[in-house]
Chain A
Amino acid sequence: MVFSTIIFLFRFLPITLALYYLAPAKLKNTVLFVCSLVFYCWGEVRFFPVMLALILINYLCGLGLEKCAAKPAARTALLLAALAGSLGMLFYFKYANFVLSSLNALLGTDFAAIQGISTLPLGISFYTFQTLSYTIDVYRGEVKTEHNIIDFGAYVVMFPQLIAGPIVKYRDVSAQLHVYEHRYHLKQIEEGMTLFTFGLAKKVLLADAVGALWTDIIGIQSSPSTTYVGLGNASTALVWLGVIAYSLQLYFDFSGYSMMAIGMGKMLGFDFPQNFNFPYISRSITEFWRRWHMTLSGWFREYVYIPLGGNRKGLKRQIFNLFVVELLTGIWHGADWNFICWGLYYFVLLAIEKLFLLKYLEKGKLWPHVYTLFLVVVGWAMFVGNDYGVGFGELFHRLFVPTGGVSPVYFLRNYGVLLAVSAVCCTPLIETLWNALKKRTATRVATVLVLLVLSTAYVVGSTNSPFLYFNF
């Protein structure tokens, strides 16, 4: 189920919240667990056992780790079993066919693709990382083993962050999961509702709308009869405009989703970590990765970068560690070569900044912004390079070799206001505006209501565009 749909907004969410609020304190986690399972299964019931297996593997390993407190070998074996189970599932569904086809291409072998896994289990990239954080933390002794399988299940499959993050570590919510009475308070719920509305508006008023500029150029896979310019017919200026629109869409889509998730978390009484902090105002790539998808970078830092030695083992080792993290970040985003390129591209940029560039960037005023945005947009071009209707080579040729074709004038005229609004919403100006509006009750309520009504109109009015991060 996607958040920006009528079924979610006007059926699932109100019913789930009502059941959750009305349920006796002891049963709240059960309600959350069951409703979240329905949410998870709504799109494809077949993946139900995948979720169940993942919960059981990590739950049992957690119990085992506690039992074998004094046997380091057994503990290591249990951790490895949990890692193999979780990552194995992720690998099977997400990467197996990519690896097979790559082997076939490289070695001339003839492995047949595995059938029936062309669609990924909903949110598998997100929840495998969440459950791993639990098992690793138990192994390290940083959290206590969870004995109640309902509570643990409620954490793993909790619907707000299930499909698109933020990646919530078990220890972020474990305390709150065991507060049964007074888990939430009205102020927190109100904050959650406000955040949810903003997230929804970001997703449907901005992301989907500005994304249409990009699909005007490359077409829509699910709707081949919808007209489009075609990458091969677009001028270089229009292709740049398109990639910028795609960059805006990606940010609003993903951060809108995270915001809705954090908002719903608050409605349920949980405080999820922040996932985006105005990434497009960064003054260096280093800063960009501190502001973009913060919970993923945090996860890799904590469970890969620092265990490898981080920056404590000399510069050479640090650069190597950086390489590993960025490679994994690329692979996490998708099973294709362009995502690996995209990850390595950021490794190179981060390494250059670490080696010498950062100190100049810190002194600059305007140019570090231009530098960062330019490289980030080029990064997104790599990211989208193998999508439907896009050829990696053709896209970069169009971007960097000036070519004539359909001009961007019409698209600037049609999407002009939206692009301007989008640009403002990428900066803290929008926060300043909200801070002014929320001072008075009337403007605060009016803002939320207007956004809710408009977003509903857009949800009903448009054929919904699927959430972009689904296949990651």
Chain B
Amino acid sequence: MEKKKRLSSLKQYPVLMAFSLFFIALFVLDMATPDRAYSEMENTTLTQRPKLTAVSVDGLNSYFTNYTKYVKDQVFGRDQWIDLQSLAETTLFQKTQSGGILLGKEHRMFARRYRVLPSEEKTWNKNLAAVSSLSERCPGKVSFMLVPSASTVYPEKLPLAAPQMDEEARINEAANVVQGGHFINVLPALYDHKDEYLYYRTDHHWTTLGAYYAYEAFCKELGLTPFDRSTHTVETAEDFYGTHYSKARTWNAEPDTITWYDLQNKLTIWNVTGPGQPTDGTETGLYDTAKLDVYDKYAMFLHGNNGLSRVEGDGTGKILVIKDSYANSFVPYLTANYGAIDVVDFRNYNYGLDQLIADNNYDAILVLYSYSSFTSDPYLYRAGVAG
């Protein structure tokens, strides 16, 4: 009787009921749903339930910290909550950015870059010095290519009055660091073809087509005959949502299409254990089509960012490509020109280059970076292009 009375009096407080149910429901769902190990969307491993190791100041502090992270990472419906925030940001508050990504016209997404950060200034100068030193040690062989961000090629697609920094001026500053080699300015070629599909909408990379026009500019500069696109079959994969999308999470994002050429060239991923040419590696093809079934589809090109790998080409001579991920869709074109293409990604290669260069006697060296990683990635100068 008493209970019934209490329950009916609860009905007079609908906000109390709604509020309590909301928290109880979330609490129960949070407890009942299994923990995830990895978030594909956020491209990160998720914190697992911590154990209290010691009842001491440090033990308790680290337990509390980790438990806080654990609850944050494993909250029920994490992905859906993030989507809802993005929805509110773009519709309710009419924002032109979400998750730090600028939302431009035609569903294009851009990385924000309001200025050169102090840390970027330092990295930029050190990396330029490293490239300069490499070109002095390998006279006449080094080509240097800096890939602009999508916002530099498509400034008119940025949100109204977005204060993006002048990347073109910075790239032009880099033009004279290569001593006796080639600076490949890809901007004119990209501007000429800007009405084509040069950059992904939802990802920071250029498309395979964007890479092609840069490759054409490279061939022109070095006097090479470009890869003949008409004699190869184009393969495509739909529904590619890239890195920009994983930050912005907008409800109306338009997925991208990945294309690649049906090439049968061999790719060897070396097990790098020291400087110089390794002897041990895994042979495979240029493309890892299994990656098309996961979130990070761009990783299909060259099987991602391996430390050192070799592509067997159909041309003659040897080229070394020192690069970030923008080169992954670029390198396949080089099979038309070289017999062997060695690819180094310093993020997974902890040695200097000189031994490798001595072992292989390359005919050409191409340093290919996006402006963005060249100005922020310390691996290039740290891993020592300079020795």
Taken together as a complex, chains A and B put the C-alpha atoms of A453 and B94 apart, in Å, by 19
Within 8 A of A (CB), among B92-109: 92-97, 100
Number of A-B pairs, beta carbon distance below 8 Å? 143
A13-B23, A448-B15 known; 12 new pairs, CB 8 Å cut-off, are A7-B68, A7-B71, A10-B75, A42-B68, A186-B13, A194-B19, A227-B117, A413-B160, A413-B161, A417-B95, A445-B18, A448-B19
**Chain B residues at the A interface, C-beta cutoff of 8 Å:** 9-10, 12-16, 18-20, 22-24, 26-27, 30, 57, 60-61, 64, 67-68, 71-72, 75, 78, 81-82, 84-86, 88, 92-97, 100, 112-115, 117, 119, 159-163, 376
Taken together as a complex, chains A and B put the C-alpha atoms of A190 and B163 apart, in Å, by 46
Q: Is the CB of B376 within 8 A of A225?
A: yes
A216-B114 in contact given A5-B68, A413-B161, A449-B18 (Cβ < 8 Å)? yes
Q: Is the CB of B85 within 8 A of A187?
A: no
**Chain A residues at the B interface, C-beta cutoff of 8 Å:** 1, 5-7, 9-11, 13-14, 41-46, 186-187, 189-190, 193-194, 197, 209, 216, 224-230, 233, 406-407, 409-410, 413-418, 421, 441, 444-445, 448-449, 452-454, 456-458, 460-462
Q: How far is the CB of A200 from chain B (nearest CB, A)?
A: 11
Q: How far is the CB of B157 from chain A (nearest CB, A)?
A: 14
Q: Is the CB of A444 within 8 A of B15?
A: yes
Q: Is the CB of B163 within 8 A of A10?
A: no
Chain B residues with Cβ under 8 A from A42's Cβ?
64, 68
Q: How far is the CB of B107 from chain A (nearest CB, A)?
A: 17
Q: Is the CB of A186 within 8 A of B10?
A: yes
Q: Is the interface of B mostly helix, strand, loop or mixed?
A: helix
Chain A residues with Cβ under 8 A from B85's Cβ?
457-458, 460-462
Chain A residues with Cβ under 8 A from B23's Cβ?
9-10, 13-14
Q: Is the CB of A414 within 8 A of B159?
A: yes
Q: Is the CB of B26 within 8 A of A10?
A: yes
Q: Is the CB of A41 within 8 A of B60?
A: yes
Taken together as a complex, chains A and B put the C-alpha atoms of A152 and B14 apart, in Å, by 34
Q: Which of A1, A229, A460 contacts B82 (CB 8 A)?
A: A460
Q: Which of A7, A226, A457 contacts B84 (CB 8 A)?
A: A457
Chain A residues with Cβ under 8 A from B71's Cβ?
6-7, 10-11
Q: Which of A6, A43, A189, A216 contacts B16 (CB 8 A)?
A: A189
Chain B residues with Cβ under 8 A from A413's Cβ?
96, 159-161
Taken together as a complex, chains A and B put the C-alpha atoms of A5 and B162 apart, in Å, by 31
Chain B residues with Cβ under 8 A from A10's Cβ?
23, 26-27, 30, 71, 75
Chain B residues with Cβ under 8 A from A228's Cβ?
114-115, 117
Q: Is the CB of B72 within 8 A of A7?
A: yes
Q: How far is the CB of A215 from chain B (nearest CB, A)?
A: 11
Q: Is the CB of B18 within 8 A of A454?
A: no
Q: Is the CB of A407 within 8 A of B161?
A: yes
Q: Is the CB of A445 within 8 A of B75?
A: no
Taken together as a complex, chains A and B put the C-alpha atoms of A118 and B309 apart, in Å, by 48
Q: Is the CB of A229 within 8 A of B30?
A: no
Q: How far is the CB of A460 from chain B (nearest CB, A)?
A: 4
The chain A residue sitting closest to B30, CB to CB, is: A10
Q: Is the CB of A45 within 8 A of B60?
A: yes
Chain A residues with Cβ under 8 A from B115's Cβ?
227-230, 233
Q: Is the CB of A45 within 8 A of B163?
A: no
Taken together as a complex, chains A and B put the C-alpha atoms of A114 and B100 apart, in Å, by 39
Q: Is the CB of A227 within 8 A of B114?
A: yes
The chain B residue sitting closest to A193, CB to CB, is: B19
Taken together as a complex, chains A and B put the C-alpha atoms of A224 and B120 apart, in Å, by 10
Taken together as a complex, chains A and B put the C-alpha atoms of A225 and B84 apart, in Å, by 26
Taken together as a complex, chains A and B put the C-alpha atoms of A101 and B51 apart, in Å, by 42
Chain B residues with Cβ under 8 A from A418's Cβ?
93, 95
Q: Is the CB of B114 within 8 A of A229?
A: yes
Q: How far is the CB of A48 from chain B (nearest CB, A)?
A: 9
A409-B161 in contact given A194-B15, A227-B117 (Cβ < 8 Å)? yes
Q: How far is the CB of A238 from chain B (nearest CB, A)?
A: 9
Taken together as a complex, chains A and B put the C-alpha atoms of A421 and B95 apart, in Å, by 13
Q: Which of B27, B67, B81 contacts A7 (CB 8 A)?
A: B67
Q: How far is the CB of B28 from chain A (nearest CB, A)?
A: 10
Chain B residues with Cβ under 8 A from A216's Cβ?
114
Q: How far is the CB of A119 from chain B (nearest CB, A)?
A: 12
Q: Is the CB of B67 within 8 A of A186?
A: no
Chain B residues with Cβ under 8 A from A187's Cβ?
13
Q: How far is the CB of B356 from chain A (nearest CB, A)?
A: 31
Chain B residues with Cβ under 8 A from A458's Cβ?
85, 88
Chain A residues with Cβ under 8 A from B16's Cβ?
186, 189-190, 193
* Minimum-distance CB pairs A-B, first 4: A461-B85, A460-B81, A457-B84, A409-B161
Interface centre among B23, B30, B112 (most CB of A within 10 A): B23
- Could you write out 15 A-B pairs with CB less than 8 Å apart? A13-B23, A14-B23, A45-B64, A189-B16, A193-B16, A216-B114, A228-B115, A409-B161, A413-B160, A413-B161, A418-B93, A418-B95, A454-B84, A456-B26, A460-B78
Q: Which of A227, A406, A444, A454 contacts B88 (CB 8 A)?
A: A454
Taken together as a complex, chains A and B put the C-alpha atoms of A321 and B281 apart, in Å, by 81
The chain B residue sitting closest to A232, CB to CB, is: B115
